[in-house]
Copies of this chain bind each other. A is one copy, B any other.
Amino acid sequence: MAHLMTESILRGPYKPGRIREQSRELILQAAEAEFACHGFRGATMQRIAESAQVPKANIHYYFSNKLGLYGAVLENTLNLWDAIFNELASHDEPADVLSCYIDAKMDFSRTHPTASRLFAKEMISGAPHLSAYLQQDYRLWFKQRMSIFESWVAQGKMDDVEPAHVIFMIWASTQYYADFEPQILIATQTPTLTEQSFTSAADSIKHIILKGCGIC
């Protein structure tokens, strides 16, 4: 569970708050797109308001300020991220584990491209708002998976490649199809990335990673 210093869900006595959820969600969605496209500094409250079709003052009713809104958006994103992290479970066979993980990551790129881009922008900027998140579960998760990979290497189930680089290759390759979509579209001369594009890409990545790591 990702938890960073962000907007307290309950602002005010919070009685029923039925409308609250809807309005918040509407604003958060618009904000995610705006932040993903222009970054924290480049995004403006005015544009977010227009995109969400609410007066700017309405945003300030639900979120204390720009940073609070950004924190809330980031928290949403990180919760999604966490779910994918845990897809890399410890089945028996390396082939199954990596195949499933690559599929899950690719599916995330397809269904949540803006979340992926938001995360990417934050990283490229030096991850100034992610330190709390990255320090905790993340490190532990990574360490644990690394040791699983190492045990596979020891058992001769895969080549002796540094596990970290394998993970990075999977992350990089799958996220690429969300983050660098314009480049892919122009290179391949296609108007949009279809669901079929993603499965085709996932198949290629699986082939190369599995065979490349000597997993059969």
Contacts and interface: CB of A to CB of B under 8 A. Distances in A.
Among A166, A186, A208, find the residue whose CB has the most chain B CB atoms closer than 10 A.
A208
Contact of A175 (B41, B159, B172, B214): B172
Interface in A168-216: 168-169, 171-173, 175-177, 179-180, 182-184, 186-189, 200-201, 204-205, 207-214
A19 interface: no
A137 to B, nearest CB: 12
B124 A187 contact: no
Interface in A40-54: 40-43
A148 interface: no
B42 A204 contact: no
Contact of A182 (B123, B162, B200, B209): B123
A36 interface: yes
Nearest to A127: B182
A161 B37 contact: no
Which of A120, A135, A168, A214 gathers most chain B CB within 10 Å?
Answer: A168
Contacts of A208: 161, 165-166, 169, 208-209, 212-213
A121 B121 CA distance: 7
A69 B160 CA distance: 47
6 contacts: A37-B125, A38-B125, A120-B120, A123-B183, A161-B204, A208-B209
